[in-house]
Amino acid sequence: MCRNVFFSSLFFSVLKSEQQRRSITLSLPTEFIHNNIAFLQVKNKICIAGWRMWEDQYLEDTLHVGDEVCQLNNMIPQNIDHLKLFSKQYAKEMSSLEIRLLPEASVFTCVRTDCREDWGIHLDGPKIRYITPGSSASQCGLDCPMAVTTESTVPWCITEINFKPVSLIQEDKRSTQRLLKRMDDGTKLYLVLQPLDFVCEMSRKLKMMADWEQYDADVCVTDGLVYISYLKAGLETKW
């Protein structure tokens, strides 16, 4: 269900390293790019807002909500229509997708000595309300609930927990409980945080898509098993 400790630490190190690079290039099926990935224009950037996880669960090890598209098959798309046109007209089975990894995000790893110890992260849905001073999260560098950007100071919003995407849409009391449940397992916690205004803009534009539910995974924990709930289809698949 979850990566082992060694693999998680290695994956986190790779994520941090790739995030610091100017861009990375992925080889993905052209059909997946055209049909299964939700691209949105946010802050004059083409960003990845999700993918059809029912069909492409493996992409969670490759893509992240908030990745920025730079090029597709060595062509620079000016907007979403250009990107879709490039992918539709490309004849080869595999495409080269160049992205900037999580340009708006900060990634954190938090450690505690006892699984019963509280992380000290207080949530309202995926939004961080405050961090308990002296808590495990605070001692690991996550000591401020606010993201300071060039435009404003806004709360952090969690978009990944332990390498699994967090719903951009679900923000009710139950979603808060589900997120806290996901964070409660183990002595290490890996988080991807992005500014709330950026996440809200993605969420708003995602909901404008006719089939947005297919791209938004509402991950919940039931009886110790992790499921992906597909809101539109009403389907569940065990992780």
**One domain, residues 77 and 111:** no
Domain of 196 in residue numbering reads as 106-208
Question: Strand 153-161 relative to strand 146-148: parallel, antiparallel, unpaired?
Answer: antiparallel
pLDDT tens readout for residues 7-35: 567 667 777 777 788 899 999 999 999 99
**One domain, residues 159 and 91:** no
**One domain, residues 113 and 184:** yes
How far is the CA of 226 from the CAs of 34, 73, 127, 181, 234, in angstroms?
29, 36, 21, 10, 16
**One domain, residues 167 and 74:** no
Side chain identity at 81, as an amino acid letter? D
Q: How far apart are CA 120 and CA 117, in angstroms?
A: 9
The phi and psi torsions of 101 (rounded to 5 degrees) equal -80, 115
User: Euclidean distance between the first and final Cα of the chain, in Å?
Assistant: 6
38 domain-assigned: yes
**One domain, residues 71 and 115:** no
Average pLDDT of span 69-77: 95
**Number of domains within the chain:** 2
146 domain-assigned: yes
Average pLDDT of span 189-202: 94
139 domain-assigned: yes
Confidence of residue 194 (pLDDT cuts 50, 70, 90): very high
91 domain-assigned: yes
Confidence of residue 224 (pLDDT cuts 50, 70, 90): very low
Q: What DSSP designation does 2 have?
A: -
Among residues 229, 113, 212, 220, which one has the least CA distance to residue 169? Answer: 212
Q: Is the pLDDT of residue 37 over 80?
A: yes
Contact criterion met (CB below 8 Å) for 154 and 147: yes
Q: How far apart are CA 56 and CA 32, in angstroms?
A: 8
CA 177 remoteness from chain centre: 18
**One domain, residues 123 and 183:** yes
**One domain, residues 47 and 135:** no
31 domain-assigned: yes
Q: What is the pLDDT of residue 100?
A: 94
Q: Helix H segments across the chain?
A: 5-20, 30-35, 80-89, 136-139, 173-183, 196-206
Total residue length of the chain: 239
Q: Is the pLDDT of residue 133 over 90?
A: yes
Share of the chain above pLDDT 70, in %: 82
**One domain, residues 65 and 141:** no
At 62 the three-state DSSP class reads: coil
pLDDT tens readout for residues 168-178: 876 656 777 77
235 domain-assigned: no
Q: Tokens representing 162?
A: 């332990």
Final residue in a domain of this structure, among 100, 128, 144? 100
**One domain, residues 96 and 111:** no
Final residue in a domain of this structure, among 100, 119, 148? 100
**One domain, residues 92 and 114:** no
**One domain, residues 71 and 136:** no
**One domain, residues 66 and 45:** yes
56 domain-assigned: yes
Place of tokens 């806004």: 154
Helices (H) and strands (E) in the chain, counts: 6, 15
Average pLDDT of span 115-136: 93
Choose the weakest-confidence range: 80-84, 188-192, 231-235: 231-235
Final residue in a domain of this structure, among 63, 82, 100? 100
Confidence of residue 71 (pLDDT cuts 50, 70, 90): very high
163 domain-assigned: yes
What is the CATH classification number for the domain harbouring 162? 2.30.42.10
